Amino acid sequence: MRLGSSAAWLGGCTLASQVLLLGSLPLITRLFGPEQFGIYTLFVGALAVAGVFVGLRYESAAVVAESDREAAVLVVVVLLSGVAMALLTLLVATVLQVGWPRRTAELGVGGLGAALALALVATAVQRSVVAWGTRRGWYRLLGLSQLAFNILMIAGQLAGALIFAASARTLAWGHAVALALSSSVAFAFVFAGQHRLLRRGLGRRRLVTLGKRFQRFPAFMILYGLMSTVRERATQFMLGGVAGTSVLGQFALAWRVTSAPNSLLYAALGPAFFGAAARGSREGNEQLAVQLVRLSAVLLVPAFVFLAVEAPTLAAWMFGDEWSASGRMIMLLAIPMLTLAATGWLDRLFDVYQQQPAALALEAGFTALAVAAVAVGLKVDPSGIAAIGVFAVLSAIYYHLYVWVAFRRARLPLAGIARVAATAWLGAAAYAALAAWCSGNLPFVMRVLVWLAVQSLAGGAWLLYGGGWHALRASIREHR
């Protein structure tokens, strides 16, 4: 499947998923409340941290393996690692339940060990599907699988709240069961007729040989993924521990709203860009990256500015008055999450040009700085607002630095991406001034119409002037 249609399929399915997730939030927030949502965030955080070790990053190696036989062995490694992490999780959960029953009850996480173990096995299956599907170019199936997961998760969580109880356990089990069902069905389709290859991959000699050959993937990218995950989850854990699970729930909602565009674009562009850049020239990859960032900025800048300015009004209206604090947090997170959404998928440049040590050094340095800064912020202001503000400022700086380092380590010219960034931020500043004036002088409906007008003008300018559409189409053609 071509790059354009691949990204379109993944983007369309991810867009539908994000619409469902965001559309269900008013129901979820009214059923569960900030405290239960905060406990569920702890579950998702534990899944993210443990999930770093699922697959050992060999799923990326499976995409670029020379033959299907080698790729199948690497897929087996991914699956076995998921089973191992699930068993370890059950052991740790049992020890915690037996040794510290009162503390687990206070945190509200009792009984979630089995859900976490199921989710880890399902994560291994899902990553195997993504690796093999990316290798074969089956992006349509990958997109549909992602959409199915989100539909099942939302339906399960809402049904569980209505049938059983509106608790964090309902949210966690709805997440785990949906992931298991969607990934299992996708696995059956993707690996239909490939069972012999997978059985051959169980050989110990093959596992050891290929594990050593592709050891740069776990050697650097596990630590890389761990740094990124620890930074985000340690921030959440500290926020919940100091400010309380209710504040953590407010922050988790703000994070989900502002990170939705990044989830959309990364899922749509990440696998397709990785596959295209792996076989493209440096000049072609630079042009493709610049044009995709340019398009992302056109789509995102007006929307993020509107979201930041109108966040307090939108949060109270959509989620209820008890979630009003999320509005201020959305305002703080908007700038860094705009940058991440427009450029996050450029992390694949480190994989394409085998610059994983540089990516690891960046992530480790920023993780140490961010965690320390959040800890200081919480000490100064236990309510958590100062810590979130510091985290947002540091993240905005870091995401810009990350793009610069990615281009430098890949030996790609910086002039094109610098022009796009300068234009994007000048446009954001101009619209922010307009939106601020509108907020104090126009009713909400008129402010929405102004945003839609600005969004249409930005899209029209990209489409009709400056060669935006033609340049992007030419870059895509070069990577066919």
Give residue-wise pLDDT tens across range 401-447. Answer: 999 999 999 999 999 999 999 999 999 999 999 999 998 899 999 99
Q: Does one domain contain both 189 and 258?
A: no
From first CA to last CA, the distance across the chain in angstroms is: 9
**Total tally of structural domains belonging to the chain:** 2
CA–CA separation, 323 vs 247, rounded Å? 10
Position 210 confidence tier, pLDDT thresholds 50, 70, 90: low
Q: What is the pLDDT of residue 452?
A: 92
**Alpha carbon distances (Å) from 283 to 389, 417, 423:** 38, 13, 22
Asked, for residue 340, whether it belongs to a domain, the answer is: yes
Give yes or no: residues 309 and 427 share one domain.
yes
Q: Are residues 194 and 250 in the same domain?
A: no
Structure tokens at 380: 């100064």
Domain-located, residue 238? no
Across 104-114, average pLDDT: 69
Average pLDDT over residues 15-21: 83
Q: Say if residue 117 is in the same domain as residue 257.
A: no
CA distance 404 to 257: 26
Same domain, 185 and 260: no
102/153 same-domain check: yes
Residue range(s) defining the domain that contains residue 153? 1-214
Average confidence score pLDDT of the chain? 85
- Rounded CA separation 390/312 (Å): 20
Angle in degrees, 0-180, between the axes of helices 245-277 and 223-243, rounded to the nearest 10 = 160
pLDDT of 307 reads 93
Q: What is the CA radius of gyration of the chain?
A: 22
- Give helix 245-277 / helix 113-136 axis angle, nearest 10°: 20
Say if residues 334 and 399 touch (Cβ distance below 8 Å): no
The answer as to whether 234 is a domain residue is no
Residue with tokens 């239960």: 36
In a domain, 221, yes or no: no
Provide the percentage of residues in the chain whose pLDDT is more than 90. Answer: 40
Measured CA to CA, the distance from residue 318 to residue 311 in angstroms comes to 10
Q: How far apart are CA 433 and CA 309, in angstroms?
A: 10
Residues 201 and 250 in one domain: no
d(CA 129, CA 190): 6
Same domain, 393 and 434: yes
Burial (0-12, 13-18, 19+ Cβ within 10 Å), 46? buried
User: How far apart are alpha carbons 398 and 309 in whole angstroms?
Assistant: 23
What is the band of 220 on the pLDDT scale with cuts at 50, 70, 90?
Answer: low
* CA gap 354, 191 in Å, rounded: 28
> What's the CA gap between 262 and 267, in Å, rounded?
8
Whether 232 shows a pLDDT value over 90: the answer reads no
The verdict on 115 and 250 lying in the same domain is no
CB atoms within 10 A of CB 275: 22
**Residue spans of beta strands (DSSP E) within 9-157:** none
Is residue 304, in this structure, part of any structural domain at all? Answer: yes
SS3 content of the chain, % helix, strand, coil (to 5): 90, 0, 10
Same-domain check for residues 350 and 291 = yes
Q: Tell whether the model's pLDDT for residue 257 goes beyond 60.
A: yes
What residue type is assigned to position 109 of the chain?
V
pTM of the model: 0.80
pLDDT value at 162 more than 60: yes
Q: Is residue 47 part of a domain?
A: yes
Assess whether 319 and 434 both reside in one domain: yes
pLDDT at 201 over 60: no
Q: Is the pLDDT of residue 339 over 80?
A: yes
When pLDDT is averaged across residues 88-94 and rounded to a whole number, the result is 89
- Could you tell me if 191 and 260 lie in one domain? no
Contact 282, 406 (CB under 8 A): no
Report yes or no on 225 lying in a domain.
no
Is 419:435 a contact under the CB 8 Å cutoff?
no
Whether residue 350 is contained in a domain is answered as yes
Rounded CA-CA distance 126/124 in Å is 5
Q: How far apart are CA 402 and CA 149, in angstroms?
A: 31
According to the model, what pLDDT value does residue 152 have?
95
